[in-house]
Amino acid sequence: MEKKFINLTKNSSVGVPELDAQHDHLINLINKLNKMCLGREEVSDIAYAMMIKQTLYFIQFHNNCEKELMEETNYPGLDVHNKFHHVFFMNFLKKIRAFESRECVSLEKLPDFLYEWLNSHLIMDMDFGLHVRKSGYLVA
Ligand SMILES: [Fe+2]
Ligand SMILES: [Fe+2]
C-alpha cells in the first residue's frame, strides 16, 4: 500500500518560526525514516540504525527546546504538554528496542505510529504557539 508523506503547510504552522523550522525538519526525518521502513530490503542495517538515532536525537532536542520556551514564557499547560512528549518518546524507544532485540522483526507499523504522533503533536503545539505569540516573546 502506498503511504502518503506529509508536508508542513500553512495550516500546521504554529506561528513561531523556530518551532516551525524544527517541525519541518522533523517531518523530513520522519518521511525519510518511513521511506526506509517501507522499502527495507534496499536499506543497510547501519543506514537504518543511523536514521533512527538521528530521528530520536532530534525529537529529544525538539522536546527540550519546547520545554525551555514553555518555562521562559510561563506556559500554563507545561506539565500536560511535557507529559505528552515524554509518553510518546518512551513508546517510540520501546518500539525501537523491541526491533533491535528482534522481539519484533518488523517496523512496518512505525509509519502509522509516527504520523499519528506528528499530527497530534502539531495540534497540541497550536495552543502553545498561540501562547508564545501572546507572551511577546517574538517581539523581544
Ligand atoms: Fe513541537
Ligand atoms: Fe510539543
User: How confident is the model over 55-64, as pLDDT tens digits?
Assistant: 999 999 999 9
Residues 68 and 22: their CA atoms lie apart, in Å, by 14
Please tell me the distance between residue 64's alpha carbon and the centre of ligand 2 in angstroms.
Answer: 9
Query: Does position 113 have pLDDT exceeding 50, yes or no?
Result: yes
- Residue 131 CB-half CA count within 13 A: 17
Residue-wise pLDDT for 40-79, tens only, equals: 567 777 888 888 889 999 999 999 999 999 999 999 999 9
CATH class held by domain 16-135: mainly alpha
pLDDT of residue 32: 86
Average the pLDDT over 87-113 and give the result.
Answer: 80
pLDDT of residue 106: 66
Report which bound ligand comes closest to the CA of 124: 2
Q: What is the identity of the amino acid at 113?
A: F
Ligand 1 ion local residues (Cβ < 5 A): 125
pLDDT of residue 104: 60
Please tell me the distance between residue 46's alpha carbon and the centre of ligand 2 in angstroms.
Answer: 29
Residue-wise pLDDT for 11-35, tens only, equals: 789 999 999 999 999 988 988 888 8
Three-state SS at 10? helix
Residues 41 and 49: their CA atoms lie apart, in Å, by 14
The three-state DSSP-derived secondary structure of 10-60 is: HHHCCCCHHHHHHHHHHHHHHHHHHHHHHCHHHCCHHHHHHHHHHHHHHHH
Taking alpha carbons only, the member of 79, 76, 61, 82 closest to residue 134 is 76
Mean pLDDT of the chain: 85
Residues in the chain: 140
Please tell me the distance between residue 105's alpha carbon and the centre of ligand 1 in angstroms.
Answer: 30
Dihedral of alpha carbons 128, 130, 135, 139, sign: positive
Dihedral of alpha carbons 15, 19, 20, 21, sign: positive
Query: Does position 132 have pLDDT exceeding 70, yes or no?
Result: yes
